[in-house]
Amino acid sequence: MTRTRQVTYVGEPARLDRVIAAELEPDLGCSRSQVERWIEQGLVTVNARSVTKAAWKVNTGDVIEVLVPSAGPTTLTPFSLTLDILFEDSQLLVINKPAGLSVHPGAGNRDQTLGNAVVAHVGASQLGVGDSGRPGIVHRLDKDTTGVLVIAKTPAAHSALAKQFADRTIERAYRTLVFTTPRARRAVQVSDQGEIAAPIGRHPTKRTLMAVVDRGKPAVTRWSVIERFPYGTMLECRLKTGRTHQIRVHLESLGCPVVGDRTYGNFTSLPRALRTAADSFGRQALHAFTLGFIHPTSGERLVFTAPVPADFEELVAQFREFQ
């Protein structure tokens, strides 16, 4: 059994495999390696022409069609890990993801990810959903982002959740500590709430990074102030879209990068004591606090929250107490 997916690309010229992975991620959770196999197998067309090269350049307006084969049994090796389970039934598994845990396998880590842990917890035979390398994964959090994440245990649950993500009906709220300075007049210092509507795409010169770019994908983040400190502000951020690194990129575009974000942030103006605290924290101060969705079979509205981790609270306390 196969499914057909068609998208019209909007953005800067890019590799075919990267475009497909980005476009189909919310629906199928496909990996780059899986996409490359589809292309090599002749399952992809661009403007009705069969393309078998992953590096084929796609331009704005190109129509890409992918014949997606049904996933086979998972190829992941089980990884024994005690999961912080917030909810579980026959359809879903909702967990509080810890820092340092990758959601699915990638370069340098093939067998100690959340996907591997889910296989160990649920059983490989029950997870024939999504890409066989990402069983049950509907959405993801960055390796060092903590908080609520839902995993589908059946094809029906995977499809129903993927549709809610695609339709943008999922409730997602994050807690984050961002960098500010006492005399600056940045948006989060002069207003209690706001909205960032700025397209996100690949950085024009640093292709491994994301950035606000004119021809990127639409991205909207709503933020509100929880607490202000001389050199930082605690925010709640709610997502209307789900682009890669969206919160981190959007807040950096305001001049208020997420504290501890070594990829996007510049913290040279942060006092030494707070820089030391952020370095000791060791990751970006970003936590998926709330996740809400409709249960795929019961139709019940479910909302889950996970408390901010203790080390995150300690970092906030140091910013609060610094004078």
138: left (phi over 0), alpha (psi -120 to 50) or beta: alpha
Return the bridge partners of 40, or none. none
Give the C-alpha separation, 282 to 99, whole Å: 10
* 3-state SS record for the chain: CEEEEEEECCCCCEEHHHHHHHHHHHHHCCCHHHHHHHHHCCCEEECCEECCCCCCEECCCCEEEEEEECCCCCCCCCCCCCCCEEEECCCEEEEEECCCCCCCCECCECCCCHHHHHHHHHCHHHCCCCCCCCCCECCCCCCCCEEEEEEECCHHHHHHHHHHHHCCCCEEEEEEEEECCCCCCCHHHHCCEEEEECCEEECCCCCCCEEECCCCECCEEEEEEEEEECCEEEEEEEECCCCCCHHHHHHHHCCCCECCCCCCCCCCCCCHHHHHHHHHHCCCCEEEEEEEEECCCCCCEEEEECCCCHHHHHHHHHHHHCC
From 27, 131, 142, 144, the catalytic residue:
142
Distance CA 19, CA 309 (A): 35
Active-site residue flag, 142: yes
Burial of 49: CB neighbours in 10 Å, binned 0-12, 13-18, 19+: exposed
Q: Which residues are catalytic?
A: 142
